[in-house]
Amino acid sequence: MKEQAPLPERIITRGIQAAGYSSILFVLLILYFLISEGAPAVFEVPLKDLLTVRWYPIEAYFGILPLLLGSLIVTLGAALIAIPAGVGTAVFISEVAPGWMKEILKPLVEVLAGFPSVMLGFLGILIVSPGLRQALRLPTGLTALTGSLLLAGIAIPTIVSIAEDALNNVPRAYREASWAVGATRWQTIWGVTLPAARSGVLMAVILGVGRSIGETMAVMMVTGNAPVMPLKWNALFSPIRTMTATIASEMGEVATGSTHYHVLFLIGIILFLISLAVNITATMIVFRRPKRSERILS
């Protein structure tokens, strides 16, 4: 006869199981809610009207293209700044900095990661935006680039913190072997340590950039929120409007059940799909089967 685990243990097991399943349930519920509120928009506004370039919802102009491209350009700009800076800082802290400096830098970065984004937004309005306007002689400092800089500021601590952990987990023997065959410190970092920590570094980049796609407050404060199509060469230096800022600023006053309300939820669905795509790509890269040579090495 199979021996039963004691009661408290069974309760704990069930509890943990329930917590695990509930997260799946919540995601499904959110998805259901998004679709039930957002899907009517597709029937109320013809697709060709949704795919126009004018967003002015109080007069029933529901062109979402400028919002979509606005979000993409800000996030792309942030990724271009945050990935080299974040991974670079992680490499510096893990591989180059002396022990005492590491002890100071790592906690500092962790504090930065918990910095509220609305405070970053204030810094953006008071310092970054006027600074950019004067330095680059722009008509206004409330631009996509300002948003990208702040988003990079939000993404960098996440990237540094996780990537540094990943680099730290690379066994010391790898580096010693590399030095032993005469590789310089730079060759070791670039050719051995970084590739060995690849999946962790990639995860860091995706979590960091993922945080910046969904970030709202700081972006809403500094990008100017003008729904312009970012197609000209100077788009990065012009105001734009993101999807998150649109939802945040308009959802509060919109009449429940109106076309505008449904279109805002449709934008929510698009955001959901984008982050889903990013996450699936990340999982596929991180969990892909290692090559034979890599298996032997590790």
What is the binding site for other proteins (CB under 8 A)?
53-54, 56-59, 66, 125-126, 129-130, 133, 139-142, 220-221, 224-228, 238-239, 241, 245, 249-250, 252-254
Q: Which CB, 105 or 254, lies closer to other proteins? A: 254
C-beta of 210: minimal distance to other proteins in Å? 24
Considering the complex, what minimum distance in angstroms separates the CB of residue 57 from other proteins? 6
Instruction: Give 135 or 173: the residue with its C-beta nearer to other proteins.
Output: 135
Helical (H) or strand (E) element with 88: helix 65-91
Q: CA-to-CA distance for 152 and 114, rounded, in angstroms? A: 14
Nearer to other proteins, 15 or 116 (CB): 116
Q: CB nearer to other proteins: give 154 or 245.
A: 245
CB 221 to other proteins: min, Å = 7
Smallest gap from residue 44 Cβ to other proteins (A): 19
- Using an 8 Å Cβ cutoff, are 109 and 227 in contact? no
CA 244 to each of CA 75, 151, 293: distance values in angstroms, whole numbers, following the listed order: 12, 13, 44
Indicate the residue among 129 and 158 with the shorter CB distance to other proteins.
129
Q: How far is the CB of 158 from other proteins (least distance, A)?
A: 25
Q: Could you give the residue ranges of the DSSP H alpha helices within 92-250?
A: 99-113, 117-123, 129-136, 144-168, 172-180, 185-188, 194-196, 198-214, 217-222, 243-250
In the complex with other proteins, the residue whose CB is nearer, 52 or 199, is 52
Residue 149 beta carbon to other proteins: minimum distance, rounded to whole angstroms: 17
**H helix or E strand, kind and range, residue 36:** helix 7-38
**Token pair 């990661």: residue:** 113
Q: What percent helix, strand, coil does the chain show, rounded to 5?
A: 75, 0, 20
Are 203 and 164 in contact by the 8 Å Cβ rule? The answer is no
Q: Are 238 and 70 in contact (CB under 8 A)?
A: no
